[in-house]
Amino acid sequence: MLLNGTRRLVSVPAATSRLAWTTTLTNRRLAPTLLARRAMASSTWFPTEPTAPVVKTDTVPGPKSVSLLEELDQLQDPRAAMFMTDLTKSVGNYLSDADGNQFLDVYCQIASIPLGYNHPAILEISRSPEMLTALANRSCLGVFPPMDWTHTLRESFMRVAPAGLDQVFTTMCGSCANELAYKAAFMHHQAKHRGPNFKMAGSKEASTCMHNQPPGSPHLAILSFRKAFHGRMLGSLSTTRSKAIHKLDVPAFPWPEAPFPQLRYPLEDYAAENAQEEQRCLEATEAVIRESSVPVAAVVVEPIQSEGGDNHASPAFFRGLRDLTRRLDVLLIVDEVQTGVGATGTFWAHEQWGLDAADAPDAVTFSKKFQAAGFYHTQKLRPDQPFRNFNTWMGDPVRALHAKAIVDTVMQDDLLQVVQQTGNHLKRGLASLAERHPKTFTNLRGEGTFLAFDFATPELRNRFVGGMRQLGVNMGVCGEVTVRLRPMLTFEKHHADHFLERVDKTLQFWA
Amino acid sequence: MLLNGTRRLVSVPAATSRLAWTTTLTNRRLAPTLLARRAMASSTWFPTEPTAPVVKTDTVPGPKSVSLLEELDQLQDPRAAMFMTDLTKSVGNYLSDADGNQFLDVYCQIASIPLGYNHPAILEISRSPEMLTALANRSCLGVFPPMDWTHTLRESFMRVAPAGLDQVFTTMCGSCANELAYKAAFMHHQAKHRGPNFKMAGSKEASTCMHNQPPGSPHLAILSFRKAFHGRMLGSLSTTRSKAIHKLDVPAFPWPEAPFPQLRYPLEDYAAENAQEEQRCLEATEAVIRESSVPVAAVVVEPIQSEGGDNHASPAFFRGLRDLTRRLDVLLIVDEVQTGVGATGTFWAHEQWGLDAADAPDAVTFSKKFQAAGFYHTQKLRPDQPFRNFNTWMGDPVRALHAKAIVDTVMQDDLLQVVQQTGNHLKRGLASLAERHPKTFTNLRGEGTFLAFDFATPELRNRFVGGMRQLGVNMGVCGEVTVRLRPMLTFEKHHADHFLERVDKTLQFWA
């Protein structure tokens, strides 16, 4: 998609050297930050970002968080919680906790905050009359759509629809987005095989499906890749292959898997080897589809395998996958739940594959940073009858309005360019640090600010992340040994410099 | 649960005769309506309800809705849509459409509007600072819970927690609520069988689940009843057995089914026969569990099978089900997605079963009218490790705040009593109409305002509903031949009278 919004010049300070981030950080900014400019342009008061991370407590979580988590423990399992947040005091790229610590946040609620905490544009639309109506009157969008729904769809999702996909199916979360795309794929597959003369009423299909038996409940599969993550409902979890803790003890469909390329870094040193690896995986994928005892209706793939360890493949691999799914008459579903909405430097990561609109994926799913969830598709993924791919709410106009504000802001503030610039700066800075601290982290990789690197062991990785948190940086992990960066789209060079400075400090502990 | 909130006396006009609703409706109200009193008590202006339904167009959908639906058709499948709504003009029990029609709404967005359109309490909380913070900063509740989250849980869900269940797991929708309860049941089942010494790391379970194979991905089942509806994701859909159109073409787990009682009406005439039918179903359920080739981890049941046709069973049946699941060491999950939040005259429908807290179901799921979704459970359904029953958002504080406002209002306005009173009036009125119009509808049944009745054929049923819509009543259907009433908790006697008057008129067409 093309971002045709008004482009404002974003002044970002030029780094004076590759190690500029090690110099004193005060008074270094040459222009107001994106968020400060936003706040100045607004008629309402907004808090401003802290100038640097602040950690007041000896440990994180601090004593207030610990006490509040004990209270939460009475009602909900708190064992996954890092700390309790104070959202009223969180601003922009900074997340505050109950103890008054202010973390530079490059994890962002598991990659799902697009513009920053209490962002002016999100606050404004959240206070709007349209929002109040949407909040107070939760619609069944499938049966009783509100009269402004088409307008909302156009102003939000459709302005950034991937080339070639002119339909959007709205859902409640990323798992649902994937599962409902799978259902659309199954219905399409069966319709194709039965032909146009099928009548459901009185059919063997209609009677057998009531007992979960074929042909009505067919043996059909979605193929996914090793290390993939596509969600945690029983269907989507059958395509998730990231970690045992995601899957253990939950019944799964016997759906096939294919190997995902394991690239070697730096890419420029292993071009031939990596190309061969990708070719091997494409051939294996084709063999799995051809030989699967359960027919494959669709292949689902992430542009970057995120939970599974930030595993990348080249555009050539994905073009090859599109080509083979076309040849084998299998649908291709691209899961952009984590990669979508700008963090890779394009609005959708799969835009970087260089596919024509005619070769577009059959469905592209989204959630997380878009706040709203769903999937784009073409007309052919509409089932033959209404009420088939259906549920009560069919999405949430509240979150569609947020999606609209996000698209507006990405266009107006030219955030894709911000991501590209910050991403380049961040990647260069990390590359320098890898040289300064040999034998610490490796395999630096990624596009835009969607970056990752690896440690030798899970323990070292976790020690690094703990050290960073104590210096005021909130980070996430993925895979076994990987650190993933998932900053907001408003993460600028000076934020990156704070981050890099603290990476440097943390790694010095190993020296 | 007990509603201990302040009780205000609700004045509802006494019916002067069983056919009072046939008299002129103007100036009949003895006290301001609930919604009018709410509006008067508020410092903000709220619109007032229309005094009666208004249909301005010759057909529904009217020309504006038709034109707007054609526009929607460019982006989304509009074939299930009845009309386009105008939510800014909808008030209380009245839903407005794009053509200016004002329908008395007894369908309520598929049973999911609790208090009415633009209800003062919902508008107020939607405008609150807490709501703004929750909207603008979408939390990953599992990892970064906001510091007021425990308070919100206590003020919303926990105030109406079913006796015996002191934990709440929050989710995004009803399907998710059921599937995540199923996952908790599977994890509990496996933990019980493996014992406390199991270590995941390095286990055969951990390696096999990565390939969707047992023992890591076990062959385990959730048993459901014929005609049940539990959602449409791939796991929940495997327990749904309502209609072929809900299930066709979607792969399903080979999970067993049991017969649900088919009661004869009026109940008082068939007491012995119905008791025998329920006993037969309990025995069959026990046999299915004992003989299932896939071990049953849990039984899921609706207190009233809603989508499947408003099929009821007696408290004795459900007590028997609780007893047999205990004996067979199988969990019992009660799906209150449609029945919960007051419409049956108790906050949860299963309160009417007369179970002690010690015999509480193992999980109770909710969504729809609570706006927020999730399930109540006991500590034993917490998995042995964090991050197992987990996802990005883990629910939505926005909707938890709405749940809080709903609980407040149910208590303050004594809405359970309103439902009971209106329900009695409505049921008596319908019973009179059944006598006045013999051979039209039968099997009048239900609790509170959660009522239903049957027609001889789907065609007659649909003709009735179409006739009612043309007279300004928006109704829903379920099963093959059933009409279901799902009004809001603020549906009062005068609303019921409007409804009954129009039922009478519509049935006269058959005379």
Contact by Cβ (8 Å): A387, A485: no
Residues A216, B81: C-beta atoms closer than 8 Å = no
Buried b vs exposed e over B417-428: b needs ≥16 C-beta within 10 Å? ebbbbbbbbbbb
CATH number of this structure's domain A142-195+205-397? 3.40.640.10
> Which of A371, A345, A367 is CA-nearest to residue A489?
A345
- Asked whether residue A19 carries a pLDDT value surpassing 70, the answer given is no
Is residue A243 among the annotated active site residues? no
From the list A80, A81, A88, which residue is nearest B133 (CB)?
A88
pLDDT tens column, A139-181: 999 999 999 999 999 999 999 999 999 999 999 999 999 999 9
Residues B80, A142: C-beta atoms closer than 8 Å = yes
The residue with greater pLDDT, A1 or A102, is A102
Structural domain B150-195+208-411, CATH architecture:
3-Layer(aba) Sandwich (3.40)
| pLDDT for A48 | 84
Q: How far apart are the first and last CA of chain B?
A: 46
In this structure, what DSSP letter does residue A161 have?
P
> Which of A427, A451, A455 is CA-nearest to residue A441?
A455
Q: What ranges do the domains of chain B cover?
A: 20-106+414-508, 150-195+208-411
- Asked whether residue A280 carries a pLDDT value surpassing 60, the answer given is yes
| pLDDT for A45 | 57
**In a 10 Å sphere around its CB, with 0-12 CB exposed, 13-18 middle and 19+ buried, how is residue A290 labelled?**
exposed
From the list A88, A137, A249, which residue is nearest B187 (CB)?
A249
Residue B37 banded pLDDT, cuts 50, 70, 90: confident
CA angle A348, B145, B337 (to 5 degrees): 80
Phi, psi dihedral angles at B396 (to 5 degrees): -145, 115
| pLDDT for A26 | 34
Q: From 3.40.50.720, 3.90.1150.10, 3.40.50.460, 3.40.470.10, which CATH number describes the A48-108 domain?
A: 3.90.1150.10
- Asked whether residue A130 carries a pLDDT value surpassing 70, the answer given is yes
Which of 341-380 (B) contact A at CB < 8 A? 367-368, 371
| From B335, B362, B408, B413, active-site residue | B335
| pLDDT for A14 | 34
Class of domain B20-106+414-508: alpha beta
pLDDT tens column, B385-443: 999 999 999 999 999 999 999 999 999 999 999 999 999 999 999 999 999 999 899 99
| pLDDT for A184 | 98
- Asked whether residue B299 carries a pLDDT value surpassing 80, the answer given is yes
The residue with greater pLDDT, A40 or B167, is B167
Partners of B109 on chain A (C-beta within 8 Å) are 138-140, 143-144, 392
Tokens of residue B362, six digits: 């193992």
Residues B187, A244: C-beta atoms closer than 8 Å = no
| pLDDT for B33 | 75
Residue A343 banded pLDDT, cuts 50, 70, 90: very high
Question: Average pLDDT over chain B, rounded to whole?
Answer: 92
Strand partners, A299: A223, A332
Residue B34 banded pLDDT, cuts 50, 70, 90: confident
**In a 10 Å sphere around its CB, with 0-12 CB exposed, 13-18 middle and 19+ buried, how is residue B319 labelled?**
middle
> Could you tell me the CA-to-CA distances from A166 to A401, A404, B75 in Å, in that order?
19, 17, 6
From the list B86, B154, B234, which residue is nearest A233 (CB)?
B234
CA–CA dist B237, B249 (Å, integer): 11
CA of B250 vs chain A CAs: smallest distance (Å): 5
| Antiparallel, parallel or unpaired: β A221-225 and A257-258 | parallel
Residue B32 banded pLDDT, cuts 50, 70, 90: low
Interface check for A291 against chain B (CB to CB < 8 A): the answer is no
| pLDDT for A10 | 31
| pLDDT for B77 | 97
Is residue A359 among the annotated active site residues? no
pLDDT tens column, B344-369: 999 999 999 999 999 999 999 999 99
Interface check for A76 against chain B (CB to CB < 8 A): the answer is yes
> Could you tell me the CA-to-CA distances from A379 to A190, A235, A383, B248, B263 in Å, in that order?
16, 23, 9, 20, 44
pLDDT tens column, B52-63: 999 999 999 999
CA–CA dist B163, B171 (Å, integer): 21
- The residue type found at B142 is G
Partners of A143 on chain B (C-beta within 8 Å) are 80-82, 109-110
List the single range of B30-39, B106-115, B184-193 with lowest mean pLDDT: B30-39
Angle between helices B315-327 and B271-291 (to 10 degrees): 20
| pLDDT for A20 | 34
Residue B35 banded pLDDT, cuts 50, 70, 90: confident
pLDDT tens column, A285-317: 999 999 999 999 999 999 999 999 999 999 999
pLDDT tens column, B5-20: 333 333 333 333 333 3
- Asked whether residue A44 carries a pLDDT value surpassing 90, the answer given is no
Partners of A145 on chain B (C-beta within 8 Å) are 69, 72, 78, 81, 84-85
Question: Average pLDDT over chain A, rounded to whole?
Answer: 92
The residue with greater pLDDT, A21 or A110, is A110
Q: How far apart are the first and last CA of chain A?
A: 46
Strand extents, DSSP E, A64-166:
94-96, 102-105
| pLDDT for B511 | 60
Give me the mean pLDDT over the B142-156 stretch.
98
CA angle A29, A415, A102 (to 5 degrees): 55
Residue A214 banded pLDDT, cuts 50, 70, 90: very high
- Asked whether residue B510 carries a pLDDT value surpassing 90, the answer given is no
